[in-house]
Amino acid sequence: MKAHLTRRYMFSASHRLHTDQMSAEENRATYGKCNNPYGHGHNYMVEVTVSGPVAEHTGMVCNLVDLDGFVGKKIIERYDHQNLNLLPEFKAKVPTTENLCVAIYEIVKRGFGHAHLEKVRIEETMMNSFEYSGEESLVVRDLRPTTSDYRPTTETMKSATSPATLTSASYEELVREMLVRLGEDPGREGLARTPARVQKAMQFLTKGYKDDPEALLRKALFTVSYDEMVIVKDVEMFSLCEHHLLPFFGKVHVAYIPNGKVIGLSKIPRLIEVFSRRLQIQERLTTQIAETIQKTIEPQGVGVVIEARHLCMMMRGVEKQHSQAVTSSMLGCFRDEEETRTEFLSLIRQRTNGQ
């Protein structure tokens, strides 16, 4: 009994489609975005279909580990995160997906001997696929999104055999794809380690999601009879605007009037750090700090003021270099009593030199 087996794999690569046989204008009209002088990237999905008799002792056309291992070594390692224009097989050919499909077919045809190769199919986009079965012509089809329940069976394939979804890609792979879409070459020296650096930086800049702010404050609560204002001001703050993922930075001033308990002074800067190391907007950051203190120690009142500069306004958009956003949150007696609120605002305006 003869049966067909199809396995699906994935890799990312960049190319520039250009031929000297056409003018620059003709190349742009023919290849569109793929004629970008800096390259253009795709997430390619490759299907390899083999056939043969179903073995009685395994019930399979061929050992999947053999097929996955061959494709992983000979195809994925060769093309993944590569500039196709630099590979020998495209020295005299335009690295279109059609030509890539033929090249992959020839590699599998020559090297894989455990089953008969029927065809190779490459999906370049959600709407286009290219199929080659050793004939002179390629079949071009319109597609709709497809799904797959494929699961890798060997570590050698890693994420290369994962379904063509965003969630299947690693963080570094997503950063590489972003670089390609910006027109860059992620393989060049200055960018080779950028994906790993970006991942590490973003993990640090958003580490506040892992912390419990209320638990942080409860670790340093002390019973006292002091009932005057406690102020911690000019606390440096750095955060990321959730709209553009650009930094905003400035100073935070926090005050509260105890109601039998005080917080260890170092916990206030730590609380600011927990909330600022998240994707934020300044308004929410201000209220989160105030409401957490109010809920945890139940003081007579809390006041928080943040003064910050936003790079999303300074280096893009309106490009106003000297603008500053000021937000406040007043709870309890800071909201109800003008005298308390005025004292707080007056004290945070005072500089250490008495000005």
Query: What positions carry a catalytic annotation?
Result: 15, 34, 40, 42, 80-81, 124
Rounded Cα distance, 103 and 51, in Å: 20
How many other C-beta atoms lie within 10 A of the C-beta of residue 352? 7
DSSP line for 286-319 = HHHHHHHHHHHH--SEEEEEEEEEEHHHHSSTT-
Contact 130, 138 (CB under 8 A): yes
Two tokens, residue 280: 């934020």
Rounded Cα distance, 283 and 180, in Å: 35
Find tokens 């959730």 and name the residue. Answer: 242
Q: At what angle do helices 64-71 and 97-111 cross, to 10 degrees?
A: 130
How many other C-beta atoms lie within 10 A of the C-beta of residue 255? 27
Parallel/antiparallel/unpaired status of strands 82-83 and 2-15: parallel
Q: How are strands ordered across the β-sheet holding 247-257?
A: 279-280, 230-241, 247-257, 301-310, 325-332
